[in-house]
């Protein structure tokens, strides 16, 4: 079976973009692959984060992975910092990554903004840690949202560079797996920006734990336009984003959706979208609450996941050290 690896940062409540762009796809194909899914807490410290929040978010995210349908029988689910080989490989790969490559990473530019003096070196090296995460498990496929395309490309370049430098296939060359539906969910406030969990405005995103009233409010105030035509139209990114979400939830074609809402206004469409969202999220929330209230079971699943992946990670680190002549 092909190996799949992916992860999410435990930085905040995860949102609809993380679900539609990533987790839902992991769940859909989990029985076809050999899956490794990580809660990437080492990535979460690249920007300041409160220790209690980091601790709690890590457990919340693990519970959400499982509540969304990841099955421990098909997947190894674990916390990145429980497997020290991630940090170890990341350092080694840093020494093989040209600064020029990192200078081209658009996510760093967006997240660092103008703050080049105090922003951490960790944020700059984030793509190298991510490359290490993927390469440690000899990954074939990386199911992610469209925003991570550039980082997976860098991972491929790095793996190819390392293999050819030592003339040995130390790393499997991974491929990004980006599905069309839900690959880029946009902010509800500013539909030209991606939906992001670090957005200071909570109305810009729907979290997986939002209750029906909150979902209704957020969808109700989501940015649209004055045309009042329920059609996919790149010139009207607000309604197009909402329609894209609706499409990802229903699996209907553009034409079917436009036909269903022909002659209807944004109010009718927003009510239907709210209904679909509540329908999708309610069962996830119910399972989430069961899991988060049984911490010993959750901790045991995470420990088991880390115990299962550690030997694979160690094997790769040993191969890397051998190639380089370390130790």
What residues are annotated to the active site? 111, 194, 197
Q: Is 17 annotated as a binding residue?
A: yes
Residue 233 has a CB neighbour count (10 Å cut-off) of 13
User: Could you tell me if 76 and 35 are in contact, meaning their C-beta atoms sit under 8 angstroms apart?
Assistant: yes
Among 138, 155, 139, residue whose Cα is nearest residue 97: 155
- Return the range that interacts with ligand AQP (CB under 6 A); candidates 190-198, 265-273, 292-300, 314-322: 190-198
Smallest gap from Cβ 106 to ligand AQP, in A, equals 11
Nearest to 97 by CA among 66, 131, 64: 131
238 contacts ligand AQP (rule: CB under 6 A) = no
> Minimum distance between the CB of residue 265 and ligand AQP, rounded to whole angstroms?
26
Binding of ligand AQP by 105 (CB under 6 A): no
CA distances for 170 relative to 127, 143, 156, 310, 316, angstroms: 19, 22, 13, 17, 8
Q: For the chain, percent helix, then strand, then coil, each to nearest 5?
A: 60, 10, 35
In the complex, least distance from residue 79 CB atom to ligand AQP, rounded to whole angstroms: 14
Among 5, 11, 60, 70, binds ligand AQP (CB under 6 A): 11
Residues 155-184 that bind ligand AQP (CB under 6 A): 183-184
Is 18 a residue that touches ligand AQP (CB under 6 A)? yes
Name which position in 30, 138, 148, 274 contacts ligand AQP (CB under 6 A).
Answer: 148
Q: Residues of 190-224 as b/e, b for ≥16 C-beta within 10 angstroms?
A: ebeebbbbebeebbbbbbbbbeeeebbebbeebbb
Per CB under 6 A, 21 contacts ligand AQP: yes
Q: Work out which of 60, 197, 216, 270 binds ligand AQP, going by CB under 6 A.
A: 197
Instruction: Specify the residue, 139 or 170, whose C-beta has the smaller distance to ligand AQP.
Output: 139
Instruction: Pull the structure tokens for residue 211.
Output: 């209750």
Does the annotation flag 194 for ligand binding? yes
Nearest to 303 by CA among 140, 81, 88: 81
Least gap, CB of 92 to ligand AQP (angstroms): 22
Asked if 321 interacts with ligand AQP (CB under 6 A), we say: no
Distance CA 233, CA 42 (A): 39
Provide the binding-site residues for ligand AQP, judged by CB under 6 A. Answer: 8-9, 11, 17-18, 21-22, 144-145, 147-148, 183-185, 194-198
Q: Which residues are annotated as a binding site for ATP?
A: 9-11, 17-18, 145-147, 185, 194-198
């Amino acid at each position: 079976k092909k190996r799949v690896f992916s992860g999410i940062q435990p930085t905040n409540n995860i949102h609809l973009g993380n679900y539609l762009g990533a987790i839902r796809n992991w769940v859909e194909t989990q029985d076809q692959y050999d899956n490794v899914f990580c809660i990437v807490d080492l990535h979460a410290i690249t920007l300041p984060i409160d220790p209690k929040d980091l601790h709690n978010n890590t457990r919340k995210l693990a519970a959400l992975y499982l509540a969304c349908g990841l099955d421990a029988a098909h997947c190894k689910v674990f916390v990145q910092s429980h497997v020290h080989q991630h940090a170890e490989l990341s350092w080694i790969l840093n020494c093989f990554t040209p600064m020029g490559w990192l200078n081209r990473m658009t996510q760093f530019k967006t997240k660092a903004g103008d703050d080049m003096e105090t922003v951490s070196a960790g944020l700059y090296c984030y793509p190298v840690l991510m490359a290490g995460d993927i390469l440690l498990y000899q990954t074939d496929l990386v199911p992610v949202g469209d925003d991570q395309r550039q980082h997976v490309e860098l991972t491929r370049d790095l793996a190819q560079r390392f293999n050819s430098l030592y003339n040995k296939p130390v790393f499997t060359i991974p491929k990004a797996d980006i599905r069309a539906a839900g690959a880029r969910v946009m902010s509800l406030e500013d539909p030209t920006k991606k939906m992001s969990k670090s957005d200071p405005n909570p109305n810009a995103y729907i979290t997986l734990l939002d209750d029906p009233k909150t979902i209704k409010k957020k969808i109700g105030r989501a940015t649209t336009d004055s045309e009042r035509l329920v059609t996919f139209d790149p010139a009207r990114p607000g309604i197009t984003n909402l329609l894209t979400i609706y499409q990802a939830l229903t699996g209907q074609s553009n034409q079917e959706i436009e036909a269903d809402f022909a002659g209807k206004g944004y109010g009718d469409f927003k009510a239907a979208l709210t209904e679909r969202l509540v329908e999708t999220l309610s069962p996830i929330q119910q399972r989430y609450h069961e899991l988060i209230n049984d911490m010993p079971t959750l901790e045991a699943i995470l420990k088991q996941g880390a115990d299962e992946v550690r030997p694979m990670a160690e094997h790769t680190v040993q191969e890397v050290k051998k190639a380089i002549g370390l130790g």
